[in-house]
Amino acid sequence: MFRTRRALADGREILYFDARAVARDAVDGRDLPAVATRSQLRFDPLLGEWVVVAAHRQTRTFLPPADQCPLCPSRPGRPTEVPESDYQVVVLENRFASLATDVDRGVPTAAPGNPLAERRPGLGRCEVVCFTSEHDRDFAQLDRDRVRLVVDVWAERTAELSALEGVEHVFCFENHGEEIGVTLDHPHGQVYAYPFVPPRVERVLASARRHRAATGRGLFADVLAAERSGPRVVAADEHWTAFVPAAARWPYEVQLFPTRQVPDLPALDDAERDALAEVYLDLLGRFAHRFDTPMPYIASWNQAPVHEGREEWWLHLQLFSLRRAPGKLKYLAGSESGMGAFITDTDPEDVAEQLRAVTW
């Protein structure tokens, strides 16, 4: 993999990733205003969780027509976020970032009127990962070599962002489909470098520690061993196992675990990355062909925190959709949104059987 680092007109970084060496010398000639990230963290004392306040993002780009897509390559008379006329994989700093390294550090220590609601600067980084220059090609339609390149990019960005001062967790993810809430149609994902450990990771890590204290065994290893021999496996090979979790929250949900315990994507070896490209395309294909139209989905990489709990963690992917039937979505209503108590509309064993049966 070859990386070329350049700068956009407003100073943001753009990185080109290619399978072979390519000259990347195009210059961003746009007249852009300086980026001003005014985000901050506020602590919820009741839940014990951090919330990112980023009101400046209200003006971000929202579903432009294809001929005005900012993530397509530039062409004469139509400059975009990517100055080159073509590319393989591109990573750029988000123009409307929730977190940034140059954010204002001088925020007050608490929210107005509530000393328990601690405040911190919104320090971190938000990146956009463009999987292909082709606007109308979904991730599920990429070839294996391109997916392998994306896997290497995820790993490279995780390693580099983990080394930034103040970063505690790196999250690689893709939102796919308007029903999920994407604001750009171009095939892309994102990487967030958080200055805190996000709530899900904290909860899972706490569960793993309780399990080890009670049994002397690893929680992730026990879950994976049970699922590999159970009725909910969707796909498996020497290196990876994909299964519908026994207590799935979403109508269609799959978790993907490597056979070997590793904390994050950079720790995967070449054989595991090769196999991941194959099995990931297989899973996305099943989601794309389960119904008459492709399912909207979120692909969420659960990596270890940068500093704590790495010896306990086991890398895994959550791939889930809120589509429960043709033309019907699962909405997070009172129980889910108000109390965080999920009520699922599908049976996990049935979902696994349905996904195994998908052909295309």
Residues annotated as catalytic are 188
E-assigned strand segments in 246-312: 252-258, 297-302
> Would you state the structure tokens that stand for residue 305, as one six-digit string?
């925190």
DSSP structural state of residue 123: B
CB atoms closer than 10 angstroms to residue 174: 21
Residue 1 burial (10 A CB sphere; 0-12, 13-18, 19+): middle
How far is it, in rounded angstroms, from Cα 256 to Cα 236?
Answer: 9
CB of 259 closer than 8 Å to CB of 239: yes
Nearest one of 196, 171, 102, 185 to 138, comparing CA atoms: 185
Which phi and psi angles does 250 have, rounded to 5°? -100, 155
How far is it, in rounded angstroms, from Cα 132 to Cα 8?
Answer: 19
Residue 19 burial (10 A CB sphere; 0-12, 13-18, 19+): middle
CB of 187 closer than 8 Å to CB of 132: yes
